[in-house]
Structure 1
Amino acid sequence: MSHCLDLFRFCPVCGSQHFNVNNVKSKKCADCGFVYYLNPSAATAAFIENEKGELLVCRRGKEPEKGTFDLPGGFTDMEETCAETIAREIKEELNLSVDRSEILFSLPNWYCYLGMNIPTLDFFFRCQVSDFSGLKAADDVAEAFFIKPEEIDPELFGLASIRKAVTMYKLKIKGD
């Protein structure tokens, strides 16, 4: 697959066709001097456990990786913090309210959207939810369910950074 910067052929400032590779993460316009940097988009994902210590898992309802396991989460909107993002996404996808969240770690990722690989920086949270009675899969989640920690198989998670994060989560459980 080609680099996503290859899809940008014209300078977004002046429209020039002389919009050339500057380095691995940028293109520069030979006419007006504008440099476009391809920085990662922020995304979030949540580890949510019930009172039994089971992990809340989603099944993806849309591409990429439709039908595979996932964690609830999504992309950060403009003028939104990652903590606001994860609370909003959990409400949209699962109809649940987050009582408290804490960031655990972040991982770089590539998210394939309509054939274009977009660099992302995925922020992983531990979220507490006290009331699961309204749990309902919605938005881009086809199904939501709980899995016992010993039954979690990271290979069932379709997105690379989620798979890696779930592996890290499993290692932490075994270490506790």
Structure 2
Amino acid sequence: MEHPLTQFEYCPKCGSSQFIINNEKSKKCIHCGFVYYFNPSSATVAFILNEKEELLVCKRAKEPAKGSLDLPGGFVDMNETAEEGVIREVHEETGLIVQEVRYLFSLPNLYLYSDFKVHTLDAFFFCKVADTSHFNAMDDVADSFFVPLSNIKPELFGLSSVRKGLTMFLAQQ
């Protein structure tokens, strides 16, 4: 297996090229002694149901998996909680205002961004919104629509953690 830091050739602290593998999760700079541990980025995924018990589904407007199905969500920004991140992402992508957030579970994911493998830890939330009748596809979403739970096909979703998360969510319904 390729070391997760193979794309990092130089020490991020001093710029030395003597940045070598320290262990399976880190690299160490021979020049300044800095050790960099590779940890996953935090991301969120939202399950939003309307009054008919249909799930809000999005179509991805950008790579990775452009054109495939997805759920609202995205990366957590610095200095925000995962709950704040999912609320912000849902609003940015759909215009919906989340009123209540309930954590469900998390799954690891590998997200290819600009030919760089980003390891993520995706936190899945059940989100309640007051009004599901007014929403738009915005930000990195090409389209958004509600689908009856019985018609959800996880294999049509482009990201592996979302496929697995959907399978787990549907099994609980």
**TM more than 0.5:** yes
Determine the structure 2 residue equivalent to 1:73. 73
- What's the C-alpha RMSD, in Å, of the aligned pairs? 1.1
Amino acid at match of 1:100: E
Gaps of at least 5 residues in structure 1 are none
Gaps of at least 5 residues in structure 2 are none
Alignment of 1:27-106 (within 5 A): 27-106=27-106
Count of residue pairs the alignment pairs up: 173
Distance 2:63 2:137 in 1: 16
Distance 1:132 1:104 in 2: 21
Alignment of 1:79-158 (within 5 A): 79-158=79-158
SS of 1:5's partner is coil
Instruction: Decide whether the 8 Å contact of 1:3 with 1:117 is kept in 2.
Output: no
Distance 1:133 1:148 in 2: 15
Instruction: Decide whether the 8 Å contact of 1:48 with 1:127 is kept in 2.
Output: yes
Amino acid at match of 1:163: R
Deviation at 1:14, TM superposition (A): 1.3
Question: Could you state the TM-score of these two structures normalised by the residue count of structure 2?
Answer: 0.97
Instruction: Decide whether the 8 Å contact of 1:11 with 1:19 is kept in 2.
Output: yes
Question: Could you state the TM-score of these two structures normalised by the residue count of structure 1?
Answer: 0.95
Amino acid at match of 1:98: V
